[in-house]
Amino acid sequence: MEYRSLGKSGLRVSVLGLGANAFGGRADKETSIRVLHHAVDVGVTFIDTANVYTNTRSEEIIGEAFAGRRQDIILATKVGMKRGDGPNDRGSSRQHIMAEVEESLRRLQTDYIDLYQIHAFDPYTPLEETLRALDDLVRSGKVRYIGASNYSSWQLLKSLDISDRHGFSPYVSVQPGYSLVDRGIERELVPFCVEYGIGVIPYFPLAGGILTGKYAGGAVPTGSLLDKNPNFAQRMDAARMAVGEKVVALARDLGTTPTALSLAWLMSRPAVSTVIAGATREAQIDENSRAVDLRLTNEVLEQLDDWTEEFIYARPFGSAPRPRANA
Q: Where are the domains of the chain?
A: 3-206+266-294
Q: Coil, strand or helix: which one is 240?
A: helix
CATH of domain 3-206+266-294: 3.20.20.100
What are the residue ranges of helices labelled H in 66-126?
A: 94-108
From residue 58, give the alpha-carbon distance in Å to each of 22, 25, 62, 96, 213: 7, 8, 6, 20, 27
CA-angle at 45, arms to 40 and 46, nearest 5°: 130
Question: Can 53 be counted among the known catalytic residues?
Answer: yes
For position 193, what pLDDT does the model report?
Answer: 98
For position 144, what pLDDT does the model report?
Answer: 98
Contact 212, 206 (CB under 8 A): yes
Euclidean distance between CA atoms 186 and 177, whole angstroms: 11
Query: Residue 326: pLDDT band by 50, 70, 90 thresholds?
Result: very low
Euclidean distance between CA atoms 117 and 156, whole angstroms: 13
Q: Dihedral through CA 140, CA 143, CA 144, CA 148, nearest 10?
A: -130
Euclidean distance between CA atoms 24 and 62, whole angstroms: 10
Catalytic entry in 3, 53, 112, 203: 53
Contact 308, 243 (CB under 8 A): yes
Contact 174, 149 (CB under 8 A): yes
271: left (phi over 0), alpha (psi -120 to 50) or beta: left
What are the residue ranges of helices labelled H in 197-254?
A: 225-228, 238-254
Q: State the pTM of this model.
A: 0.91
Euclidean distance between CA atoms 106 and 258, whole angstroms: 38
Classify residue 223 by its DSSP letter.
T
Euclidean distance between CA atoms 256 and 226, whole angstroms: 24
For position 264, what pLDDT does the model report?
Answer: 98
**pLDDT (tens digit, 9 = 90+) per residue, 270-288?**
999 999 999 999 999 999 9
Q: For 232-257, what is the mean pLDDT?
A: 88
Q: What is the H or E stretch that residue 35 is in?
A: helix 29-41
For the chain, what is the mean pLDDT?
A: 92
For position 225, what pLDDT does the model report?
Answer: 59
Is the confidence at residue 120, as pLDDT, over 50? yes
